[in-house]
Amino acid sequence: MREVPIEPTFESWQRAARGLLRDDVGPADVAWREVPVGSLPAPAEPAAADGGIRVPRSFVDLARGVAIHRDPARWSLIYEVLWRLTREGRELMGQGDPSVERLVRMEAEVRENRAVITAGPFVPPGASVDGLRTAAARCAGCDLSRHATQTVFGRGQADARVVMVGEQPGDQEDLKGPPFVGPAGEVLDRALAEVGLARERLYVTNAVKHFKFTPRGKRRIHATPGPADIAACRPWIEAELELLHPEVLVCLGATAARALIGPAFRLMQQRGIFLETRWAARTMATFHPSAVLRGEDDAAQARLYGMLRDDLRLVADTIGRETQ
């Protein structure tokens, strides 16, 4: 029996599987062992090298999806199918094979974020905020990571007195990298300037680090993260907040509020009120800047913007003018 240590990522499994195939090691002779991300030495061969192994693209896509599943037996199952593909041919994928069908079912569970490994294995213990940001770039703990351009991690001062948490990155954030650099970010910057809060003195992040969207032609339409998405990404925001220890925590929008204050929180009834949470003695929720942009007309947008600005003014008044 050969014990094979791998990180809980498709790329780590893929490198190990190539070596096993070259050595003609059958599935029954492999014991897969997961190790923390970053604990294995850098690979000696380029990740793109395939050693002459050819398998259908459908299998690769399926395996990438199942790699995120939390079932510890997934690596053995994927390798079994890979082994048989190299011997029985690509027709195996279309024969209703029980092992292939099991992979299909597991991948469907991953697409719904119902059975993913979550971000937990990717969060390095004892890391600084910069260390978390570096590690998050490799996160593959949920289905959103398979489709987004990149991880959008928090930015700002590690000693910031005020931390603002939004819902998730949008299209522009997904393409550019930092949070709140798209249209919603422009609204936020305008409101911050009006109340005297300097953004460069704040820390701004999101409850979910990957962009969730629905393709529509060439456009990517924002899709609201569900409870499963938030739970999968929760280890990142918890690690951030435990390091930052903000004096004031501002939840921008209902998604962030429910994630950090509690599922019973109601934004319209409780916005602009300071509450005590495990993250900060003064925690407040207000509208997400994108809600202003979604106002049905100019009057509605002006009203929503005014409430957002007034809530942020409470934050500015609370911490004083030291954050200017």
Average the pLDDT over each of 34-38, 66-70, 140-144, 243-247 and give the range with the smallest value. Answer: 34-38
Tell me which residue of 109, 118, 148 sits closest to 234, measured CA to CA. 118
User: pLDDT tens across 91-117, in order?
Assistant: 999 889 999 999 999 999 999 998 999
Q: Are the CB atoms for 53 and 19 separated by under 8 Å?
A: no
User: pLDDT tens across 123-157, in order?
Assistant: 999 999 999 999 999 999 999 999 999 999 999 99
User: pLDDT tens across 255-288, in order?
Assistant: 999 999 999 999 999 999 999 999 999 999 999 9
Tell me which residue of 190, 187, 228 sits closest to 207, measured CA to CA. 228
Calpha distance 31→29 (Å, rounded): 7
Q: What does the DSSP 8-state code read for residue 141?
A: S
Tell me which residue of 85, 103, 90, 117 sits closest to 12, measured CA to CA. 117
Structural element, H or E, at residue 213: strand 213-216
Beta bridge partners of 286: 252
- 182's tokens: 């798209």
CA 210-216-218 angle, to 5 degrees, is 85
Q: Are the CB atoms for 207 and 256 separated by under 8 Å?
A: yes
User: pLDDT tens across 194-208, in order?
Assistant: 999 999 999 999 999
- 244's tokens: 């930052």
Calpha distance 97→83 (Å, rounded): 14
Indicate if the pLDDT at residue 321 is higher than 50: no
According to the model, what pLDDT value does residue 44 have?
67
According to the model, what pLDDT value does residue 262 have?
93
> What pTM did the predictor assign?
0.91
According to the model, what pLDDT value does residue 54 have?
86
Query: Average pLDDT, whole number, for the chain?
Result: 94
Calpha distance 154→136 (Å, rounded): 10
Structural element, H or E, at residue 62: helix 57-66
According to the model, what pLDDT value does residue 95 have?
82
Q: Are the CB atoms for 142 and 208 separated by under 8 Å?
A: no
Q: Report all structural domains of the chain as residue ranges with CATH numbers, in order of start.
A: 2-111 (no CATH), 120-323 (3.40.470.10)
